[in-house]
């Protein structure tokens, strides 16, 4: 039965929406500092490209940057110029493009050479990443917090003297002393930074913890620097909580959520652009993102990154708007809200009905109606049973072989420089240096191909 059939034909759209309780709206009233609009800060070209095995060509980066700008992103982190000459030239090529919505930023450490590399790209925005946990301070930087903060002041002064607009990122803030984070942010505000980024670098926080930490930081900073800064949050997805933690930050007053297209990034990835944009918009928080273009952006990034999306990926996964269950399809035909939280077209997608083991009369009837066919229920029942049998009798072993072939192909896609290629590089370099010739014999030889 469809909506245009009795007893539903007299209902209006608003009538159906009133039948559903909105607990999110009730909970949001408890957060007086919730950001009613946010500015999306995308890290796909920088943090996203750090996904193992991924490398983007300059034309791909420019295309993605253009799409990100078109979709409504406000900040695009274009890359880390000090990494290599090629990276610097790529960031420079992006910065020379014209953008309508987004500002282009480059990443730097608090080193003069890094800052000079950013200046060479002609970017106007610079992002300083500074690790603050004792683990990083003692093991990686080998510096005390006071020395690190002195370096921050020197870097900010140098960058602003050269016309750059700095943002500062408290790397590993979720495992750092809160005093270090606050001192870092206050110094940044006093020396030219206005965008402050709290980073859960290894994705360890519970959403409840994020609420507490962001609330405390904003309360403290507002005592001395009220209305002089905007807070951002950068969350990794190691425990599957990146989107939840980003939402928690926004509820407390974060203005810049950091995201990556499709949730790409190293380890378990970053917070996904599509999840944040759709989730916030559907709960009344404006993002400036053109949701109908999300699917297109996702597909382009999937091809360029060479990382296939899981079919169950929220919003953009192949099955996120797909249905097989007969009970579900029957309800969906009465009203989409029964089993879909958002209309597929809103995010550039289409609903799909699959035929298989769990199909029912409604799905069969829907498919037949597309070509103008109508049959009585006994005929429909017979078709349904044969459809179920067809699926259940499929050769599972053949399906399993296909699966393993696909997995092998995926491993090939994800491969960086292979062991054979690495040792060939070592061999070619060592041969140029006479004093190391005796070590050539120790370089592993490639295994014979099977």
What is the chain's mean pLDDT, rounded?
Answer: 91
Which pLDDT score is estimated for 3? 47
Question: Would you place residue 8 in the very low, low, confident or very high pLDDT band (cuts 50, 70, 90)?
Answer: low
Question: Would you place residue 1 in the very low, low, confident or very high pLDDT band (cuts 50, 70, 90)?
Answer: very low
H/E stretch holding 77: strand 75-79
Distances (CA, A) of 398 to 181, 387, 394, 402, 405: 56, 19, 9, 6, 11
Residue 342 CB neighbour total at 10 angstroms: 18
**278 pLDDT above the threshold of 90:** yes
List CB contacts of 31: < 8 A, sequence separation 6 or more: 251, 252
Model confidence over 87-117: pLDDT tens digits? 999 999 999 999 999 999 999 999 999 999 9
Model confidence over 199-222: pLDDT tens digits? 999 999 999 999 999 999 999 999
Q: State both tokens at 85.
A: 């000459």
| Helix then strand then coil, % of the chain, to nearest 5 | 50, 10, 35
**426 pLDDT above the threshold of 60:** yes
Question: Would you place residue 438 in the very low, low, confident or very high pLDDT band (cuts 50, 70, 90)?
Answer: confident
List CB contacts of 129: < 8 A, sequence separation 6 or more: 107, 108, 109, 169, 171, 199
Query: Phi, psi (5° rounding) for residue 154?
Result: -60, -45
**248 pLDDT above the threshold of 90:** yes
Is 450 or 349 the better-scoring residue by pLDDT?
349
Which pLDDT score is estimated for 192? 97
**6 pLDDT above the threshold of 60:** no
CB 288 within 8 A of CB 280: no
Give percent of the chain with pLDDT exceeding 70.
Answer: 96
**What's the average model confidence in pLDDT over 35-61?**
94
CB 43 within 8 A of CB 301: no
Sorted by where each begins, the domain ranges of the chain are 30-305, 322-392, 422-450
Which residue, among 177, 179, 232, 173, has the nearest Cα to 204 in the 3D structure?
A: 173
DSSP conformation class of 37: B
Least confidently predicted of 192-206, 253-267, 401-415: 401-415
d(CA 304, CA 306): 5
CB 315 within 8 A of CB 294: yes
d(CA 227, CA 272): 28
Which CATH topology does 30-305 take? Answer: TIM Barrel (3.20.20)
**What's the average model confidence in pLDDT over 17-40?**
92
Which residue, among 61, 55, 121, has the nearest Cα to 89 in the 3D structure?
A: 121
Q: Where does 85-198 have alpha helices with state H?
A: 85-95, 112-121, 134-135, 145-161, 178-190
How much is the pTM?
A: 0.86
Q: Could you give the dihedral angle defined by the CA atoms of residues 137, 141, 147 and 150, in that order, rounded to the nearest 10 degrees?
A: -110
Burial class (CB in 10 A: 0-12, 13-18, 19+), 14: exposed
Is 194 or 11 the better-scoring residue by pLDDT?
194
**What's the average model confidence in pLDDT over 69-75?**
98
């Amino acid at each position: 039965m469809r909506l245009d059939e009795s007893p539903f034909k007299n209902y209006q759209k608003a009538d159906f929406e009133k039948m559903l309780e909105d607990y999110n709206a009730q909970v949001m009233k408890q957060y007086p500092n919730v950001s009613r609009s946010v500015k999306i800060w995308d890290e796909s070209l920088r943090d996203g490209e750090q996904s193992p095995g991924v490398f983007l060509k300059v034309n791909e980066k420019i295309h993605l940057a253009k799409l990100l700008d078109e979709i409504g992103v406000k900040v695009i982190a274009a890359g880390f110029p000090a990494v290599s000459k090629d990276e610097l030239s790529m960031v420079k090529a992006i910065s020379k493009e014209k953008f309508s919505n987004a500002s282009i930023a480059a990443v730097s450490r608090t080193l003069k050479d890094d800052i000079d590399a950013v200046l060479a790209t002609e970017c106007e925005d610079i992002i300083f990443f500074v690790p603050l946990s004792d683990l990083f301070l003692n093991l990686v930087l080998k510096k005390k917090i006071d020395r690190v903060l002195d370096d921050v002041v020197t870097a900010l002064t140098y960058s602003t003297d050269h016309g750059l607009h700095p943002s500062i990122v408290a790397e590993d803030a979720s495992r750092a002393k809160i005093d270090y984070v606050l001192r870092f942010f206050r110094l940044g505000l006093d020396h030219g930074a206005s965008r402050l980024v709290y980073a859960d670098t290894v994705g360890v926080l519970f959403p409840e913890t994020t609420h507490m930490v962001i609330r405390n930081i904003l309360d403290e900073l507002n005592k001395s620097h009220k209305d002089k800064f905007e807070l951002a949050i950068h969350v990794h997805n190691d425990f599957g909580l990146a989107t939840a933690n980003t939402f928690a930050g926004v509820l407390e007053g974060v203005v810049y959520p950091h995201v990556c297209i499709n949730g790409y990034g190293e380890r378990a990835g970053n917070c996904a652009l599509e999840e944040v944009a759709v989730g916030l918009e559907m709960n009344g928080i404006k993002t400036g993102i053109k949701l109908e273009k999300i699917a297109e952006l996702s597909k382009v990034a999937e091809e360029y990154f060479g990382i296939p999306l899981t079919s169950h990926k929220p919003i953009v996964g192949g099955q996120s708007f797909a249905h097989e269950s007969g009970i579900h399809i029957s309800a969906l035909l009465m009203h989409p809200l029964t089993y879909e939280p958002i209309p597929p077209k809103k995010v550039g997608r289409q609903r799909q009905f699959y035929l298989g083991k769990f199909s029912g009369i409604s799905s069969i009837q829907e498919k037949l109606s597309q070509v103008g066919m109508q049959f009585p229920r006994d005929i429909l029942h017979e078709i349904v049973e044969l459809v179920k049998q067809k699926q259940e009798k499929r050769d599972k072993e053949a399906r399993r072989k296909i699966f393993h072939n696909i997995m092998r192909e995926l491993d090939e896609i994800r491969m960086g420089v292979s062991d054979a290629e690495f040792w060939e590089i070592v061999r070619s370099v060592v041969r140029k240096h006479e004093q190391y010739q005796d070590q050539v014999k120790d370089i592993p030889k490639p295994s014979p191909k099977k």
